[in-house]
Structure 1
Amino acid sequence: MAEVASRYRERRSRLTDAVVWTNTNATGAAALPVLPDGCMDLLWSEGRLLVAGPDTRAYMADGAVGRRWVGIRFAPGTAPALLGVPAHELRDRRVDLADLWSPATARRLAEQVGAARDQPAALEAIALRRASEAESPDPVLRRIVGALDAGWSVAATAAAAAGLGARVLHRRSLAAFGYGPKTLARILRLQRALAVARSGVPLADTAVRTGFADQAHLARDVRELAGMRLSELLTRA
């Protein structure tokens, strides 16, 4: 049996709506692309703390043999209040935490994680402390995500879930999610479809169940957002 290219583990965080994860490339083989999901991550690797902004396209992570990543993934809309920066400023970017916070603070925190026996717990502790000092995420944001993930139209989401005008919804979405509600809806729909397809549902049925016009529509979105064919993505998952 071939050796697994990476060892990925995750667990639910003590921080609301977050997941703590680790990933180590065991062989140097090409990893699956990181697909857009509306989330943002705080990352530690090789002595550095970084922030991964919300993606609009697939991201290929470093494939160096033995490189270890520790991360905490924040649900859509929850990271900007904690990090103190609008999400759209980090869209499709990976930046050093020192570019967002005090360089001395970022360096000290990176050293703490690096020296910790339990690095995921140390990174989680940083996020928990920061969350206790930051403003709580706007509850409207959770309703926006829930409505769009349920397949509501942007107009219905603005009127019923958020009680906002279309322009205000777009502006707040840029700050919270990194892009407008139409893009977020498209990304969430893709993630729903992949989850259904991976459960064994035929692709044509998957497309209908998750809000696509047909299987060809689903395939086009996978190609554009993941950078590969749907069949290839499912085979490699």
Structure 2
Amino acid sequence: MWSPSTGALFVAGPDTQAQLAVVEPGTLYGVRLPPGAFPSVFGVPAHAVRDLRVPLSELVPGVRLRSFSDMVSFCASRVVVDPALAATASLLRSADVASAAWEIGLSSRQLRRRSLDAFGYPPKVLQRVLRFDAAMRLAWDGLPFASVAAEAGYADQAHLAREVRSLAGVPLSQLIRS
């Protein structure tokens, strides 16, 4: 993330709960990495910075980036997504953890370790985040919230509402307005 008013470049680790920040509109820009790319870009396992905001210079000593476009170029030049990790994320969208591990050829314990390193979350939490991401796309497309809940795999609209508030810190209606 880059703040033009301060010139600060920092990395937002994977979040397990809402991280609300007060910023002026238009003053914060970010690069969103593909799932599993964090370790290749920053050289540390994703779980090492879970729920943290860390100056880029602490993760990658000696890096000298002066602008957001420098940050984009830096990330793009280092992104490597392991096909097995992409398959993991894809499988976890529709299968339970044990089935996904079996399909990939890993034990549940191995899948947990790899998931923590690559995504910052254990597989069950990753499933929760992926389902939330799918729900957000549907909501931004204008689907009614009950349809969003059904299509994204929530038990009902109330379950969707609880998960959105837990992960984003605000109700879904407020989140899609921002």
TM band (smaller chain): 0.7 to 0.9
1:123-171 deviations in Å (ceiling 9; x for gaps): 222234445xxxx43221000111223x2221221111x2211000001
- 1:76 corresponds in structure 2 to 35
- 2:2 corresponds in structure 1 to 44
Check whether the contact 1:207–1:215 (CA below 8 A) recurs between aligned residues. yes
> Gapped runs of 5+ residues in structure 1?
1-42
Distance 2:56 2:21 in 1: 18
1:79-99 deviations in Å (ceiling 9; x for gaps): 212211010011011101221
Matches within 5 A, 1:186-197: 186-197=128-139
- 1:137 corresponds in structure 2 to 81
Match of 1:53 among 13, 17, 20: 13
Matches within 5 A, 1:95-106: 95-102=54-61, 105-106=62-63
Q: Give the structure with the larger helix fraction.
A: 2
Structure number with greater CO (CA < 8 Å, separation at least 6) is 2
Distance 1:65 1:137 in 2: 32
Specify the SS of the correspondent of 1:191.
helix
Distance 2:134 2:152 in 1: 6
Q: Out of 122-131 and 199-208, give the one that drifted further.
A: 122-131
- 1:126 corresponds in structure 2 to 74
Specify the SS of the correspondent of 1:207.
helix
Aligned-residue Cα RMSD (Å) equals 2.0
Match of 1:63 among 1, 6, 23: 23
Whose radius of gyration is greater, 1 or 2? 1
> Gapped runs of 5+ residues in structure 2?
none
Distance 1:174 1:128 in 2: 22
Q: Which residue identity is paired with 2:101?
A: A
What TM-score, normalized to structure 2?
Answer: 0.87
Specify the SS of the correspondent of 2:142.
coil
Matches within 5 A, 1:112-191: 113-114=66-67, 119-120=68-69, 122-131=70-79, 136-149=80-93, 151-160=94-103, 162-191=104-133
Distance 1:85 1:227 in 2: 27
What TM-score, normalized to structure 1?
Answer: 0.67
Distance 1:232 1:126 in 2: 33
Distance 2:143 2:29 in 1: 33
- 1:39 corresponds in structure 2 to none
Q: Give the structure with the larger strand fraction.
A: 1
Check whether the contact 2:19–2:169 (CA below 8 A) recurs between aligned residues. no
Count of residues in Structure 1 that have an aligned counterpart in Structure 2: 176
